[in-house]
Structure 1
Amino acid sequence: MGSVVEIRPGRRIWIETGAARSNAPSHAATTVAILVHGSCARSEQYAAQVPELQKMGMATVAFDYLGCGKSDKPDDFTAYAAQQLYQDLVAVFDRYSQGFVRVVLVGHSYGCYLVNKLVAEQPDRVAALILIGAGYPTPGFARMRLIFYLPTVVLALMQPYLTDQFIKLAFHPETFKANPQLIELERGRSMENPPYMFRAFHLQAATLFKDAAEVDSWLRCIRAPVLVTVGDKDLLTPLDGMGKKVASLIKDARIAEVPLAGHQVHEEQPAALNGKILKFLNDVLTAK
């Protein structure tokens, strides 16, 4: 069940909730999973994970960032500041975790930064954390966004090219052969993003943290068990360059690499990824 919700004054975002099953195991029925998508993406990308979490017996909450998917898309540069997006997540967390004993957070790509910051600030309120394609601020992190200083009208003309470049980096080479429908779906989603939105987002994305040391401090504060998952051909957040670094700073982290997948592993290989996620959650939630 989904609707547009004013999560904070003037900020209306699409939120989709799913109820826990009445016959769920006690450890699952008292748990809500909140899923946070990546940069300029949408909650629809978790379509394969939400039903499996609900089958396990959890309630689920997935939402579209402001400017993405079915959420409002104001033409206001400051609306897409990283801290604004983070405060939206905090508001979702505070509202939709009420009444549950446990909260599981799931983040993909840039969404991992948001959930890591939240768990670091509220370490006792999260029972488990799943990071899919977890990013880490490398030296070239900010330079990658220099193109977004171009005027919006120029970016609008470049949008098909930028979309194709992202897709080439985000998907495993085999996905282009095995699942061309997914490639076209992702291309269509990306082309729906207003240029003023993705320009504003990318120019402010790195302002969520001062430097890598601040991200390190978040990761070291995380007390919950964490699953760091990554596709074996993830060119955007590779296991060796980022995934292992993230896991090394977390007290209780385990790594799961998924074959024949890139950065969009949750869409490319949903069955394989879901199996790893459900095993992890069964292990850590039944142990509590």
Structure 2
Amino acid sequence: MPFLQLESKRIHYTDLKPSSGNAPRETFIFHHGLGSSQNYYHAVALELQSHDFRCILFDTTGAGRSPYTYVEQSIETLSGDVIGILDALEVDKAVVVGHSMGGIVAANLAAERSDRVVATILIGPVYPSPAAGPVFAQRIQTVESSGMEAMANAIPSAATGAKASPVARAMIRELLLAQDPAGYISNCRIIVNAKRPNYEGIKVPVLILAGGEDKSAPLEGCRRMFGEMGATEEKRLEVLEGIGHWHCLEDWEDVARRILAFYHDIQ
């Protein structure tokens, strides 16, 4: 398995280059959310790859196959990891895609590192709020006492929409069961301590994909951040009806179609 060493972090990644052998039209880099891994995006990335895009997927530190370092992280350090991966793979600029917690990272990069960000796609992005504290404090307590089993038993049904298939829910369950509990707890703390990105400072094109039945990153929060992104002239908010918080597993084809349409329109 390919790994990158970013200082003390060992990051597992996948680099999908155009299957045609052509030079990439653009590079996408994908940041997953809490309790997930790069495999959340795999079907979407394969579709983009078939359209001559290069897709870089990775497991954030403490998730998937990237071991937890027992060093506390933040939205800023996770943003630094994205830049570190681009540097290591010699990518000058990329479209940054972020889901859930990764949506905070992607928004932060769009605001602070427009020199490296072509555009950003936020999928069910979390809007940082003090209200997250009690919710994630309870999750931390549950995982500390019972491991990931309780999360895996509850989230696949509670956090998906009407269109989610049993196979999609099974995949979500597997992603959760595969988490290092200590890494999951650390990522919970990242969300609790996350600062609001400088949405007003975003000047690159933005696509927000919101689940119509998303309870984890409700449509209200997506609309709020969309309204605060006043600096970019190319922004859109699209709602996926019948979809909860695991968009790329609940309806990967629609997500891929919307990403391709957005990219086509901003060119």
Alignment of 1:237-256 (within 5 A): 237-239=217-219, 241-250=220-229, 251=232, 252-256=234-238
The 8 Å contact of residues 32 and 97 in structure 1, kept in 2 or not, is answered as: no
Which residue is 1:96 aligned to? 89
Which consecutive unaligned segments of at least 5 residues does structure 2 have? Answer: none
Which residue is 1:235 aligned to? 215
TM-score, structure 2 as length reference: 0.89
The counterpart of 2:203, out of the listed 197, 213, 223, is 223
Q: Cα distance 1:257–1:81, how it changes in 2: closer, same or farther (>3 A)?
A: closer
Question: Which residue identity lines up with residue 4 of structure 1 in the other structure?
Answer: F
**Structure ID, larger Rg:** 1
How many percent identity over aligned positions?
Answer: 23
Q: Cα distance 1:275–1:149, how it changes in 2: closer, same or farther (>3 A)?
A: closer
| Residues 1:134 and 2:120 aligned together | no
Alignment of 1:60-79 (within 5 A): 60-74=55-69, 76=70, 78-79=71-72
Which consecutive unaligned segments of at least 5 residues does structure 1 have? Answer: none
Q: Secondary structure of 1:47's match?
A: helix
Distance in 2 (alpha carbons) for counterparts of 1:79 and 1:121: 21
Count, aligned residues:
263
| Residues 1:4 and 2:8 aligned together | no
Q: Cα distance 1:31–1:196, how it changes in 2: closer, same or farther (>3 A)?
A: same
TM-score, structure 1 as length reference: 0.83
Distance in 2 (alpha carbons) for counterparts of 1:124 and 1:66: 24
Alignment of 1:1-288 (within 5 A): 3-6=2-5, 8-20=6-18, 21-23=20-22, 29-74=24-69, 76=70, 78-96=71-89, 98=91, 100=92, 102-148=93-139, 150=141, 153-156=144-147, 159-175=148-164, 179-209=165-195, 212=196, 215=197, 218-239=198-219, 241-250=220-229, 251=232, 252-285=234-267
Compare the two structures and name the one with the higher helix fraction. 1
Q: Cα distance 1:104–1:86, how it changes in 2: closer, same or farther (>3 A)?
A: closer
> For the aligned residues, what is the CA RMSD?
2.2
